[in-house]
Structure 1
Amino acid sequence: MRTVAGGSRPAAFRGRGRRSGPHPGSRRHLPVGSSARCRRKGRVVSRRATRRRSGARRPVRRRRPRPVVWLALGAGKVLLGIAPVVGVGVWLATAPVFDLELDIQIEEAERVSEQWVRSRLAPLEGRNLPLLSLEPAARRLDHEWIREAELVKRLPNELTVRVVEHQPAALFAAGDRAWVIDRDGRAIVACERAPDLCGGDLVSVSIESAPAGERLGDGPARNPGAGAGSSRGAGASRNVQGEVLARTLKRALDVAAEVRAFEWGRQVRAVEVISDDDYLLACTGRPATVLVRGSDLTAKASVFELLRNAITEHNDPEVVDLRFRDRIVLSMEAPAARIATDAEGAPAAQDGVQAPS
């Protein structure tokens, strides 16, 4: 093989460097896509280096974990999430700092003592306060004079008990039976269990249609109270007769409270229900008896307040009837057992003096 002058390359390789690519058998073979600069410099670039520069990589096949591994990982995550909650719950249930202590507050206590409340709740002392259910605790305070009992948890260990008693508003008598009732007309206790109240200054309420206690059943419905459970509440709802009687007594007490806004109304000591809307008021002064109608009580009572001095000064009546639309009827005699009514439903005028309204 001869050598061409001016170069050290054999003649057989002359001009091959200017071809589009080297000979396929050459060791300087470059892959398609390599830069001309690399070819001119004569550097040998491997396929792996070319792929690394161009960003194309062969995907790596990863081995999937076994199902047992997946279950173990999931169980571990669940335990890590539940463990703090379980720990806090165990601490709340067993820590001595949450042992219950009682703080009792009684408003206007006359019939229920703090000692009685504390004795009823004594089995709860020392129990865990966060786990204590308040409804069974409230049922322990079932007392005829307790109107409302409020139990409040105060962490870490204090249970505040607030007790409100019934306020007696009137006495309801029917025949040989009598009850102390509240402002809602509901029975609090029978008079034989509170003799000091039955002989006091409470307003007396009666119903003329049942002078001997007829159609009264077991008396007015009782207030469910603080310790009423679901069974007791259902039994009270079935006492329809007692509920109707309680509503009637409540309307009578509302009438007595309304007339107390006037000077003559402060002398009312007894209210008798004559009919659904007619009431007889017994007073300590003069007049001794005032007949009113609940639907127009305020207007008629205001007129009587203005004319009262003139009426009592000239006539000094025993009975004043305010139930008529256009007049005030005065009578010198005590009312009969039953008040007669005319065809229109208004009370019939009795013998007496009529004063213009």
Structure 2
Amino acid sequence: MTARRPTIDDVARLSGVARTTVSRVLNDGPNVRDEVRARVLEAVKALDYKVNPQARSLAGGGSRLLGLVFASDLESEPNSFYHSALELGALRGCLELGYQLVTRHIPLQSADREQQVYDLIATQRCEGLIFTPPYSDDGALIAEVLRRGCKVVSISPGGAGRGLADGVGMDDEAGGYDIARRLIDLGHRRFAFMGGIEGHLSADRRLDGLMRALSEAGLGQADLIQVRGDFTFRSGVELTPRLLDDPLHPTALVCANDDMAAGALSVVHGRGVKVPQDLSVTGFDDTPVSAIVWPPLTTVHQPLKDMGRRAVALLASRLTGGRAEAEPEFDCLDHAVVERGTAASAP
């Protein structure tokens, strides 16, 4: 004999609430007191209750399918951990709330990239889409998806994309400021910045934060050399020699993500430059690579898994939780400077 699987009614009985309240908690809906929400989640855990996505689909008439859209470059490898961390967080959110997830990498160079997005709605029957940068900055695309009746959550939206739909992210400008402020406090006055692809507004905001910190310290453009990479290890390798050979001779290299910083470190070691004695190097994201390079990388922690998970919760609340007509909201998650071994006092 096999044990009967717990039902939503079992959760309601154990937590002492109505069945509709359990449903509202599972869908991250509004109008639930914190103590009630906690009691329901404790009952879910105690019973090891699992949502049946097929049953929920039949009951609600929807596909229970969400789409996660990444931009990809046909000429370079993907920013693997950034993508996988967001996807893992979204998958965990889907598991908790009874949704399924389909992931699509749509090259920015594709002439039919918008149609590929629309096909997720028409062909795949996605009820909601999660856009990552730079698609999350594309106001026209987001507006058209919403017009077609599909819900949207944007990861780190900027520009025309900000405010059109629910969003989740961190304060990129503040992150850039905090890492630059730390380097300035260490005595650095000559900087290099390795940015991201053209039009990637969240990475550009990291540069804005750096510039704000420089301005407060009485520094400016003359104290900074800038290059654009594509967030890959390869671009870090290719661009670093230009920075090292520049007449400015920077003592601090600020990279817009960890993969480029790792590529930069490989070149710096090959040149015989000591890190952090001769040159401080910092990254952004706090991906696993930041802890395994040598020296371990000082970086800015971006809660990518939490972003993916929260994006699913926001979509669920739009679809079934009573927020269908609510004004768009933006959830700003906390970041932190993670000090390891690549930043020290200026030589």
Give the TM-score taking structure 2 as reference length: 0.21
Highest relative contact order (Cα 8 Å, sep 6+), 1 or 2? 2
Give the TM-score taking structure 1 as reference length: 0.21
Q: Highest CA radius of gyration, 1 or 2?
A: 1
> Where is the strand percentage greater, Structure 1 or Structure 2?
1
